[in-house]
Chain A
Amino acid sequence: MLMMKAGVLRPARLVSLRKLNLDSISNGKDGVLVVGAMTTLRELERSAAVKEGWPVITRALRTLSNVRVRNVATVGGALAHADPHMDLPPLLSALGARATIAGPQGERSAPIESLYAGYLENTLRRGELITHIEIPPLGKRRAAYLKCTTRSADDWPALGMAVVLDGGEARIWVSAATDKPTRLLAAEKILKGQITDEKALRQAGAAAAEEVHIESDLHGSADYKKQLIRVYLARAVHEARNAVH
């Protein structure tokens, strides 16, 4: 809708997905949460099951734009749109979530991160639709999502960073500053077994700022966003360690 309104896309046909019954949140096997692609962000935010099992998602949604936007925006749209400034793709990637995709050849399942090829470019094939996402239970893992907005509190982010801690290991994803959700492997390696070490956190932040290609845009210059990565990495790890869950 945003692309159509901006005149970037001029579709010849519009197809509504509203009557496909894809708007429910349910419990799958082994504690997995199954969320229909037409679930609104607001329903996800207000879901008791999400709040209980994945409070990091509830918290992240409360910072995503505003209530009016969340009332309408759907989970499927938020994943397919592939604007790197979106909040769910890095967070769901860090949580190890997957998408179920239906198409002319049947159904397939893919990790969330594999949906992205680049700026506003997803990897869905012609005729394919996201029907559900599956989010594995947090279990003993702890998670945080931090974002930095630069023009107003509810602006699209200049940086989004998701951290999931599993014992002494961190899984760290960044977006908004990059052209798609990107895993910070060099930083993760430095932090292995050292997530409480201040020096390691500083080194990991520095490594993270160097390991990804960063774009300048309306939300900040590339240099500014590099500095944000350095600072936010330690903050996000800290937040995850202290996450109440």
Chain B
Amino acid sequence: MRREIRFRLNGEAVSAQVAPHETLVELLQEGFGLYGARESCGQGLCGCCTVLVDGRAVSGCLYLASLVEDSDVRTIEDGGELDAVQQAFIEASGFQCGFCTPGFVLMTRQLLDEIPDPSEDDIKHYLSGNLCRCGAYPEIIAAVKLAARKRKGV
């Protein structure tokens, strides 16, 4: 039993036919060919599937696709140009293999929207639900600090 939902995806008005149990990751991958949010743990633990829904980070693996009806959905594929956070992750080498990076970048966007000048504790607090198997944590924290400076234009 599929139902049509409408929402905004990376700034564009879209619609999709979704089944009640379908997750947001499944919809993005199968319906829109967007693979930036990927399922790894499938239990809300790792953050690889992070998607912003109305500006708040959610685990796409545990979020029902039908719940994004009328919402603003942003994935790592959003926008033509790299934003300050992505640029900072590149400059500070905030990744090795890059599998976890979309999740860290999107979580960092929520952090900087809510706390433009985060302390190291704030950074760890917001990113504690994102796991990096390559262990790039020190570089990631440096990247977030750099992103905060870039956003302020200093």
Contact = CB atoms under 8 A, between A and B. Distances in A.
B15 to A, nearest CB: 18
A2 B43 contact: yes
A5 to B, nearest CB: 6
Contacts of A243: none
A1 B42 CA distance: 11
B21 A14 contact: yes
Contact of A18 (B67, B107, B110, B126): B67
B56 A71 contact: yes
Contacts of B20: 13-14
B129 interface: yes
Contact of B125 (A42, A67, A71): A67
Given A14-B20, A68-B47, A1 B62 contact: yes
A154 B129 contact: yes
A5 B61 contact: yes
A62 interface: yes
B23 to A, nearest CB: 8
Contact of B129 (A42, A62, A65): A65
A16 B67 contact: yes
Contacts of B56: 42, 71
Nearest to A40: B56
Given A4-B21, A14-B21, A67-B107, A154 B58 contact: no
A148 to B, nearest CB: 17
B4 to A, nearest CB: 16
B59 A72 contact: yes
B58 A71 contact: yes
Contacts of A69: 44, 59, 129
B137 interface: no
A5 B128 contact: no
A67 B57 contact: yes
Interface string A1-24: 110111000010110101000000
On chain B, which size bracket covers the interface? 20 to 34
A140 to B, nearest CB: 31
Contact of A62 (B58, B67, B110, B125): B125
Contacts of B129: 65-69, 154
Contact of B42 (A5, A11, A16, A71): A5
B16 interface: no
A157 to B, nearest CB: 15
Nearest to A16: B67
A153 interface: yes
A67 B88 CA distance: 22
Contacts of B58: 68, 71-72
Contacts of B59: 68-69, 72
A2 B62 contact: yes
A58 to B, nearest CB: 13
B154 to A, nearest CB: 26
Interface in B24-47: 42-44, 47
Contact of A5 (B47, B62, B66): B62
Contacts of B66: 16
List 10 tightest A-B contacts by C-beta distance, closest first: A66-B129, A71-B56, A14-B20, A68-B57, A154-B128, A68-B129, A66-B128, A72-B58, A67-B126, A1-B62
Interface of A: 1-2, 4-6, 11, 13-14, 16, 18, 42, 62, 65-69, 71-72, 153-154
Interface of B: 20-21, 42-44, 47, 50, 56-59, 61-64, 66-67, 107, 110, 125-126, 128-129
